[in-house]
Structure 1
Amino acid sequence: MNPTDATTQAATNGTDAALNAMAAGPDLSAVGLFLHADWVGKLVIILLVLASVICWAIVIEKAVLFRRLGAQVKHLVSAAAPGAGPAAAATPQGEELAAQVLRAGAREWREGRDHDESRAEYRYRIEHTMRGTIAALMRRAEPGLPFLATTGAVAPFVGLFGTVWGIMRSFASIAQSNDTSLAVVAPGIAEALFATAIGLAAAIPAVIAYNRLTVRLSKMRQVANGAASDLASGLSRRPPATSHGAPVHARAHAAAE
């Protein structure tokens, strides 16, 4: 084959490839839409995908953490159950929720009731200490939840911004080409709407997860506070008093150890 024929054959192959590409139409897959977008559209999509990944990581972490917290709350409820007795005020080891709450209540119980302090005030002091410990530990489970709420509220608007920007860019290209056929308009519109779809895909799971996690955390807090109230009520019925020469709180300390 001489050089002229080779050149002609290469040109023919290039023309056939271009015609096949035109016949196949533009690439409307997710990857194709992303690659065809300009730097603003790509930045919007990257931010939304990154936010979605972070949200799923938070959801998985909170699911594991809340399962562990739920088990600790059940332990606290069992310690406050009727018939648990003074042993519920023992000093368990560890840094879990139930252990810390029981230690806080036992500490106030062992200090005893002041001479001018009523049983109701004594009970309130024990309960207030345990509730404070519960609130502090529950607050440790909250980080990450505001990010879910923010993503659920902001992600649709970020996607909408990408859509508006893409439509403006598409209209500008239509004006330059002077061609309003559907084949010319469709790729730009699809690229613009892709940003909104990504925004909704990031926002909807974030909103659902935030609502479920906050409700679950609130229920665990209520159950733990109820157990603290029951524990305080039971402990306050055994106020320190001298019996056979030994204060009750001293005997409780010995029993706890």
Structure 2
Amino acid sequence: MTQLRHMLLAAVLALGVAGYSGACLAQATGSPDAPAAVAAQPVEAVPAPAVSAAPAVAAGHLPRDLSPWSMFQAADVLVKAVMLSLAFASLVTWTVWFAKSLELTLARRRLAGALAAIADERSLADAQAQLPSERGVLAACVAAAAHELRLSSDVTDKDGIKERVASRLQRIEVAAGRRINRGTGVLATIGSTAPFVGLFGTVWGIMNSFIGISKAQTTNLAVVAPGIAEALLATAIGLVAAIPAVIIYNHFSRQIAGYKALVADASAEVQRLVSRDLDRGLAPHHLSLAAE
């Protein structure tokens, strides 16, 4: 009995050890299935970052060519008219500069040569003999003095003759100054009005740019900049026309002042010749005959 009891107890222990070992083996073999199950689940696709459409939009509004000629072609009709008028004014400025420079140079050279020719003459008749074919201001002064002496051939008042000669010479001076000033007034007009004409074109162009901004409903610089640049081009052309006109006008003012001083010297030289002849005691009719 005792031996049988020991045998049953050993069998029960063996069964218990066998059951425990089976459970542990089942857990050991089943535990890797959980990660596998997790790994087997489908991975959701990560959405790719959306490509910004801003470059495409910006590419649709890239600035056009902003060269001066392109901006002129794209400008408003009124702004084009302003630019063309300013370009014409600039052309007039340089034409006047060329023509007036040539005229002043020749006039000063002719008058200076005539003054040098009669510088050593002692009488009006001798001076007139030195200018037989001269048609300048000095020849006109000598001819006017001789004409007045001819008209005063029956007058003995020397002071009266001198006054009348001086009056004729003064009118010749005024006429010479008026003639040499001809054409310079347009330079003053261009210099004073061209910037404002260009500013008018700029204001008009900027107004059109703002209207375009309101219609496009955008403040993108690529949309705004071309219109403003076209408008500012009008002011730039106005300054290009005005600045040379002012400089050239001031230059001619100095040159003309020098020429008028030379004409005054010619008038004074003729008056000295008349006065010298009168002081010699020659009668006016003798002077007129000698001048002829």
Q: Map 1:31-42 onto structure 2 (within 5 A).
A: 31-42=69-80
For the residue of structure 2 that corresponds to 1:239, the secondary structure is: helix
In structure 2, what is the equivalent of residue 189 of structure 1? Answer: 228
For residues 96 and 209 of structure 2, the distance between their equivalents in structure 1, rounded to whole angstroms, comes to 37
Aligned length: 232
Which of 204, 217, 230 lines up with 1:165 in the alignment?
204
Unaligned runs of 5+ in 2: 1-57
* Alpha carbons 2:128, 2:139 under 8 Å: kept: no
Instruction: Please identify, of 63-72 and 149-158, the stretch whose mean Cα deviation from structure 2 is larger.
Output: 63-72
Aligned mates of 1:80, 1:216 — CA distance in 2: 24
Q: Based on CA coordinates, which of the two structures has the bigger radius of gyration?
A: 2
Structure 1 consecutive aligned stretches of length 4 or more whose deviation exceeds 3 Å: 19-23, 109-116, 240-243, 247-254
Please state whether the residue corresponding to 2:254 is helix, strand or coil.
Answer: helix
3-state DSSP class of the match of 2:141? helix
Normalised TM-score (structure 2): 0.71
The SS at the match of 1:238 is helix
Aligned residues: percent identity? 37
Determine helix, strand or coil for the equivalent of 2:277: coil
CA distance in 1, matches of 2:187, 2:142: 32
Q: Which amino acid aligns with 2:133?
A: Q
TM-score, structure 1 length as denominator? 0.80
Structure 1: unaligned runs, 5 residues or longer: 1-18
Q: 1:108 is aligned with what amino acid? A: E
Secondary structure, counterpart of 2:177 in structure 1? helix
Residues 1:145 and 2:180 aligned together? no
C-alpha distance in structure 2 between counterparts of 1:207 and 1:74, whole Å: 28
1:85 is matched with which residue: 97, 104, 122?
Answer: 122
What is the distance in 1 between the residues matched to 2:202 and 2:161?
62
- Which residue number corresponds to residue 16 of structure 1? none
The alignment's C-alpha RMSD in Å is 2.7
CA contact (8 A) 1:73 1:98 kept: yes
In structure 1, the residue matched to 2:251 is 212
Residue matched to 2:278: 239
For the 8 Å contact 1:33–1:190, the answer to whether it is kept is: yes
Structure-1 separation of matches of 2:281 and 2:162: 19
Of the three residues 74, 91, 95, the one matched with 2:135 is: 95
The match for 1:70 is: 108
